């Protein structure tokens, strides 16, 4: 019963902060709301007994990616006055694309079977040992492929940065 | 006594100890600096100047509070508050001593023994950047912004090496990230620092960088940036920034001693457990842990008044080209040794 209350509270926070990201006037506040949103999502992971996922989510998203985002916003010094004016055509296109994406998501939601939520029997399902075991036995190939992808991305960014300097 | 009541008392105690120790660390810093520079140091307020931190605190509270007119007021106040909160949060996963016992029930001297202990520490450390960045940006001052940018790029760079050096320790403790398990695996003089000296060195260096302490105090290098990210701050908001730095120092000393220097363990702890009552042993182990923490706080000060500040490019080179590869090689060697020779 308490877990239900916590879930609905977290869900409300997630939805509210996500909406605030879009509706905030200042980009810096958008970033701050997005960080709050990530925290509530980490809360959902904890509710599902996935402690490891929750903390990695916070380290990677709130601790690294959002810092870079804040960096960019601060250095560009984005604010309302300097915001480029968008033509009516751009706005119309944005509304149409956004609406279509919403429709697709809605259609996907309609056809899914929403089963009843069953609480995990064991509480250690998301512990580091369990996650590591699964990752390095059943999901070995996808895991290694992802790391290759990451190295490719890292080398790619270094190459791009080097090229600028030689010009 | 219920577990909840015990935890609440423990949290309040740790909170008070952190703040009290941070206050007296400012006094200690000035005394150590004075000692190293052959001066006397603060000696006016009370015997040996012992009331100096209180006088400083009162001064901070009574100063005029200035908020720059063109700054973002909400973020300006949020900055130092977030910095203090993140500084205090880490203490939740540190095991402070052997469990206490009341009425036959054992109460661990740790607020939360979570499965992901050390990752929690790294996560909170990475959040500490926000306090500095928001404060520096919302001041609407170019020196503050430069200080904030320096601080955050420094912290991001050194976090990676810090995480990597911890992995080598985790390889040696069997399958748990909990700080409690890590400390329990270092019974007697079986401390991790003897098996992982390189990891310990890297971790201590990165801890200095994460706390923005000399030789890595570039975010607030006064000869270039006035006061760095807190240039525009005054009164207790400045006090929070300065104070949080000492809380950070206290917590990192605690993390360093529990990861590498045995935490509350000391030779003869098992023997004492057989002869003395449980609660007394618990208090003694807490005292030993505290002694180690105090030594590392002294070490922080010692280095500050001995080594000059790095240049910014030197700082980045050290972080990315020396510490990071060294930490990765250390992990590989540790892994290879464990695979081929057993533990």
For residue B139 the two structure tokens come to 């001041």
Q: Whole-model pTM?
A: 0.84
Please compute the mean of the pLDDT values over residues B158-166 and round it to a whole number: 87
3-class DSSP state for residue B106? Answer: strand
How many Cβ atoms sit within 10 Å of the Cβ of residue A75?
11
Confidence (pLDDT) at A96: 93
Please compute the mean of the pLDDT values over residues B251-275 and round it to a whole number: 83
Angle in degrees, 0-180, between the axes of helices A66-76 and B117-138, rounded to the nearest 10: 10
| pLDDT band at B5; cut points 50, 70, 90 | confident
Distances (CA, A) of A97 to A93, A100, A101, A111: 6, 5, 6, 22
For residue A157 the two structure tokens come to 């960014």
Using a pLDDT cut of 70, give the percent of chain B over it.
98
Closest Cα to residue B260, out of B205, B337, B323?
B205
Closest Cα to residue B300, out of B257, B265, B264?
B257
Tell me the shortest Cα–Cα distance from B23 to chain A, in angstroms. Answer: 28
* Chain B residues whose beta carbon lies within 8 Å of the beta carbon of residue A35: 130
What parts of chain A have a pLDDT lower than 70? 1, 77-84, 113-126, 163-167
Distance of CA A132 to the CA centre of its chain: 22
How does the average pLDDT of chain B come out, rounded?
83
What tens digit of pLDDT does each residue of B194-227 get? 888 888 889 998 988 888 877 877 777 767 777 7
Q: Determine the Cα–Cα distance for residues B114 and B178; give it in Å rounded to an integer.
A: 6
CB-based burial of residue B90 (10 Å sphere; 0-12 exposed, 13-18 middle, 19+ buried)? buried
For residue A109 the two structure tokens come to 């939601």
For residue B166 the two structure tokens come to 């911890």
* Chain A residues whose beta carbon lies within 8 Å of the beta carbon of residue B116: 51-52, 55, 128
Closest Cα to residue A34, out of A14, A6, A57?
A14
Strand boundaries in B51-194, DSSP class E: 100-102, 105-107
Range in B199-203, B250-254, B312-316, B339-343 the model is least confident about:
B339-343
How many Cβ atoms sit within 10 Å of the Cβ of residue B288?
18
Question: CATH assignment of A2-161?
Answer: 1.20.120.1200
Confidence (pLDDT) at B311: 82
Asked if B172 and B237 touch (Cβ cutoff 8 Å), the reply is no
Please compute the mean of the pLDDT values over residues B270-287 and round it to a whole number: 81
For residue A79 the two structure tokens come to 């604010």
Closest chain A residue by Cα to residue B142: A75
Of residues B294 and B73, the one with the higher pLDDT is B294
B122: preceding bond cis by omega (within 30 degrees): no
Using a pLDDT cut of 90, give the percent of chain B over it.
0
Asked if residue B174 has pLDDT above 80, the reply is: no
Confidence (pLDDT) at B92: 85
For residue A126 the two structure tokens come to 């998301």
Confidence (pLDDT) at A114: 66
CB-based burial of residue B115 (10 Å sphere; 0-12 exposed, 13-18 middle, 19+ buried)? buried
Q: Determine the Cα–Cα distance for residues A57 and B166; give it in Å rounded to an integer.
A: 19
Asked if residue B44 has pLDDT above 90, the reply is: no
Closest Cα to residue B314, out of B237, B221, B252, B231?
B221
Phi, psi of A52 (to 5 degrees): -60, -45
3-class DSSP state for residue B27? Answer: helix
Dump the DSSP string for B307-343.
SPPPPHHHHHHIIIIIIHHHHHHHHHHHHHHHHHH--
CB distance A128–B145 less than 8 Å?
no
Asked if residue B115 has pLDDT above 80, the reply is: no
Please compute the mean of the pLDDT values over residues B276-281 and round it to a whole number: 80
What tens digit of pLDDT does each residue of B15-25 get? 888 888 888 88
Task: Write out the residues of chain B at the interface with chain A, using a CB-CB cutoff of 8 A.
Answer: 72, 75, 114-116, 119-120, 122-123, 126-127, 129-130, 133, 137, 145, 148-149, 152, 156, 159, 175-177
Confidence (pLDDT) at A104: 92
* Chain A residues whose beta carbon lies within 8 Å of the beta carbon of residue B321: none
């Amino acid at each position: 019963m308490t877990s239900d209350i916590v879930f609905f509270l977290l869900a409300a926070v997630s939805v509210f902060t996500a909406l605030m990201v879009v509706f905030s006037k200042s980009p810096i506040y958008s970033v701050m709301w997005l960080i709050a949103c990530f925290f509530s999502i980490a809360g959902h992971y904890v509710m599902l007994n996935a402690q490891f996922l929750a903390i990695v989510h916070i380290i990677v998203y709130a601790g690294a990616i959002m810092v870079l985002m804040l960096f960019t916003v601060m250095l560009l010094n984005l604010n309302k006055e300097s915001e480029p004016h968008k033509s009516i055509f751009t706005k119309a296109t944005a509304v149409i694309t956004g609406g279509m994406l919403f429709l697709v998501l809605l259609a996907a939601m309609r056809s899914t079977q929403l089963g009843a939520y069953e609480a995990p029997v064991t509480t250690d399902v998301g512990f580091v040992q369990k996650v590591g075991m699964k990752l390095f036995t059943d999901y070995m190939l996808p895991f290694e492929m992802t790391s290759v992808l990451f190295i490719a991305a890292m080398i790619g960014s270094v190459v791009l940065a080097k090229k600028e300097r030689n010009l | 006594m219920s577990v909840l009541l015990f935890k609440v008392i423990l949290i309040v105690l740790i909170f008070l100890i952190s703040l009290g120790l941070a206050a007296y660390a400012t006094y200690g810093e000035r005394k150590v600096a004075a000692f190293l520079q052959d001066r006397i140091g603060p000696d006016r307020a009370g015997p040996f100047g012992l009331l100096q931190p209180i006088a400083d605190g009162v001064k901070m509270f009574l100063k005029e509070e200035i908020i720059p007119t063109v700054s973002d007021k909400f973020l300006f106040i949020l900055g130092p508050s977030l910095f203090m909160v993140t500084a205090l949060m880490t203490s939740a996963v540190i095991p402070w001593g052997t469990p206490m016992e009341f009425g036959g029930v054992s109460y661990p001297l740790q607020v939360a023994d979570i499965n992901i202990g050390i990752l929690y520490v790294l996560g909170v450390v990475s959040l500490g950047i926000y306090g500095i960045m928001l404060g520096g940006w919302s001041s609407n001052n170019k020196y503050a912004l430069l200080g904030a940018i320096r601080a955050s790029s420094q912290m991001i760079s050194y976090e990676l090496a810090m995480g990597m050096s911890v992995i080598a320790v985790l390889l040696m403790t069997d399958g748990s990230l909990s700080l409690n398990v890590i400390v329990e695996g270092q019974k007697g003089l079986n401390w991790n620092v003897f098996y992982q000296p390189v990891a310990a060195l890297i971790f201590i260096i990165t801890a200095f960088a994460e706390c923005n302490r000399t030789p890595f105090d570039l975010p607030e290098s006064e000869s270039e940036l006035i006061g760095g990210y807190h240039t525009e701050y005054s009164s207790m908001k400045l006090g929070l920034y300065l104070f949080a730095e000492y809380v950070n120092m206290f917590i990192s000393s605690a993390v360093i001693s529990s990861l590498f220097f045995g935490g509350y363990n000391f030779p003869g702890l098992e023997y004492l457990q057989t002869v003395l009552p449980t609660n007394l042993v618990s208090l003694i182990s807490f005292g030993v842990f505290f002694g180690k923490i105090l030594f590392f706080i002294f070490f922080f000060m010692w280095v500050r008044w001995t080594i000059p500040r790095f240049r910014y490019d030197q700082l980045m080179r050290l972080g990315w080209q020396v510490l990071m590869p060294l930490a990765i090689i250390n992990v590989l060697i540790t892994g290879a040794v464990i695979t081929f020779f057993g533990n």
